[in-house]
Amino acid sequence: MKADAFPYRAPWWLPGGNAQTLWAALASRRHFGPAPRWQRSRWNTPDGDFVDVDQALHPSAPDAPLLVLFHGLEGSSASQYAVAFADFAAAHGLAYAVPHFRGCSGELNHAPRAYHSGDFAEIDWILRRFASEHPGRPLLAVGVSLGGNALMRWAGELGDAAAQQVRAIASVCSPLDLAAGGHAIGRGFNRLVYTRMFMRSMVPKALKKLEQHPGLFDREALLGARDLYEFDNLFTAPLHGFRDTADYWSRASAKPVLHRIRVPALALNARNDPFVPANSLPTAQDAGTHVTLWQPAQGGHVGFPVSHGPFGLPGHVRAMPEAVGHWLLTHL
């Protein structure tokens, strides 16, 4: 099912997907109410590792819905979109939590593994834990970028069984075709800016992982990696059971399983997203009957900034969480 119910238009002073992406991440206003305060819990995983979960401390009724956000590549509860969704949750009386993928909470995880775009088994374990700890709360989930692909992959893999855990899900600016997104971020301006930004975070963490587990991968080869394709080939793919980057990107992508989703699901993608080529976005035929597609012309990658204040500055990023959050609430 396709609908353009989020007719987003960028401010005139932010033309293009890169400007909308970078302004939202670096300079936008993230919340209208107080900044979120968090209570962190450490969940021990079945394989002897841990996941850190930040739960917002704003008040909510005992039976209010719980909104769970799965962050993007190298994201956290401090990411601009996580804060903006926290502000939405507080304004609407929802409980709110951000589970961190392994190694993203500020402390390196214990196991040889890390996290990846198709980590639907981790999504499943986390959502089951939330459901068991909050039996009186309807569960809603949103995934951003990498987290959204993993969430949609989870829903496609589980089919009818996903409805036992959640009422509705949404992905925001997710590379549902990982190969298309992976190649796009490795070219031109994307390679100079975004690839370097991610590699500055990911390579040192991988080297610390090697200190934990000597012999895990070839250190010199990893130091020579210059893009996500090479990094995934040396680190992400082999550590998580994939043959190589091509195998990882193929088997972890959510696009091929969207038609198997059986819970209300929303996929929001801006058509000028620098990371996600418009020609790779799912069509109504790809999506099936349970998936709604929002594909506005503008917004960038997890951007969607909106003018604010007397001169339109500094702009805020609450419009996207407002639209996505209300869509989720209509499916309670």
Which of 71, 290, 301, 316 is flagged as catalytic? 301
Supply the Cα-derived Rg of the chain in whole angstroms.
Answer: 19
* Dihedral sign for Cα atoms in the order 159, 164, 170, 173: negative
Cα angle 94, 269, 235; round to 5? 90
C-alpha dist (Å) from residue 229 to 102, 149, 217: 20, 17, 16
In the residue annotation, 273 being an active-site residue is answered as yes
Tell me the C-alpha distance between 41 and 25, whole Å. Answer: 26
End-to-end CA distance of the chain: 18
Residue 297 CB-density burial (10 A; 0-12 exposed, 13-18 middle, 19+ buried): middle
In the residue annotation, 253 being an active-site residue is answered as no
Which of 79, 105, 117, 145 is flagged as catalytic? 145
Looking at residue 289, the DSSP 8-state letter turns out to be S
- DSSP code per residue over 64-118: S-EEEEE--TT--TTSHHHHHHHHHHHHTT-EEEEEPPTT-SSS--SSS----TT
C-alpha dist (Å) from residue 195 to 115, 129, 144, 158, 171: 18, 34, 18, 32, 22
Q: Are 229 and 248 in contact (CB under 8 A)?
A: no
Q: What's phi and psi for 269, nearest 5 deg?
A: -140, 125
In the residue annotation, 145 being an active-site residue is answered as yes
Which of 273, 290, 308, 316 is flagged as catalytic? 273
Q: Are 263 and 162 in contact (CB under 8 A)?
A: yes
The catalytic residue positions are 145, 273, 301
